């Protein structure tokens, strides 16, 4: 036999005032939380901000003078010097060509014309070889930086 229970002692069903239903896995999203349509936008939950910016998280590069007087050779001054070396090399190649042409014309005009015509390909080759050598040095230093970054990531530091 069952006895009538007091209505105050009965378990009450939860009241959903915002239209939400008690749920399982396949319930419909609430109003305002649907995923956007059109161009890709991140979903409203999860707050994904994208991949970590490893370049910004890395150690700061020391100044040129700090690197220049680093007797343990942990930082390098050469990458900064490469830009200066290239500009100085271009100026020196140009000045030497100009002086050679002027001296050639001053001694004998035929020499000036010969240096002007024959020297131009030599100047172009000098600029090309200078650039190739300095790029080679830059690649070596970039390889060093990349290996150091891989080493840092591998250690979890």
pLDDT tens digits, 42-56: 555 555 455 554 444
**DSSP character for 46?**
S
User: Is-contact 88 81, C-beta < 8 A?
Assistant: no
pLDDT confidence bin for 69, thresholds 50/70/90 = confident
pLDDT at 40: 56
Nearest to residue 81, comparing CAs of 67, 95, 91, 71? 67
Q: Which alpha helices (H) appear in 11-108, and where do they start and end? A: 54-57, 64-68, 78-107
Nearest to residue 100, comparing CAs of 88, 116, 89? 116
Mean pLDDT of 17-32: 56
> Is the pTM value of this prediction over 0.85?
no
pLDDT at 128: 97
Per-chain mean pLDDT for the chain: 75
pLDDT at 79: 81
What are the tens digits of pLDDT across the range 95-153?
999 999 999 999 999 999 999 999 999 999 999 999 999 999 999 989 988 998 899 88
pLDDT confidence bin for 76, thresholds 50/70/90 = confident
Q: Which residue has the tokens 């240096």?
A: 115
- Position 22 pLDDT exceeds 90: no
Helix (H, G, I), strand (E, B) or coil at 93: helix
d(CA 88, CA 82): 10
């Amino acid at each position: 036999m069952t006895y009538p229970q007091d209505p105050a002692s009965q378990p009450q069903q939860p009241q959903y005032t915002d239209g939400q239903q008690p749920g399982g896995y396949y319930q419909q999203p609430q109003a305002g939380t649907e995923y956007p349509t059109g161009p890709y936008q991140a979903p409203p939950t999860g707050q994904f901000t994208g991949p970590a910016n490893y370049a910004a998280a890395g150690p700061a590069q020391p100044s040129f003078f700090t690197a220049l007087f680093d007797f343990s050779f942990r930082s390098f001054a050469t990458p900064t010097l490469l830009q200066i070396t290239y500009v100085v090399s271009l100026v020196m190649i140009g000045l030497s060509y100009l002086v050679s042409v002027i001296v050639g014309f001053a001694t004998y005009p035929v020499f000036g014309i010969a240096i002007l015509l024959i020297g131009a390909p030599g100047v172009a080759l000098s600029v090309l070889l200078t650039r190739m050598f300095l790029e080679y040095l830059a690649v070596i230093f970039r390889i060093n930086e990349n290996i150091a970054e891989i080493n840092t990531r591998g250690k979890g530091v």
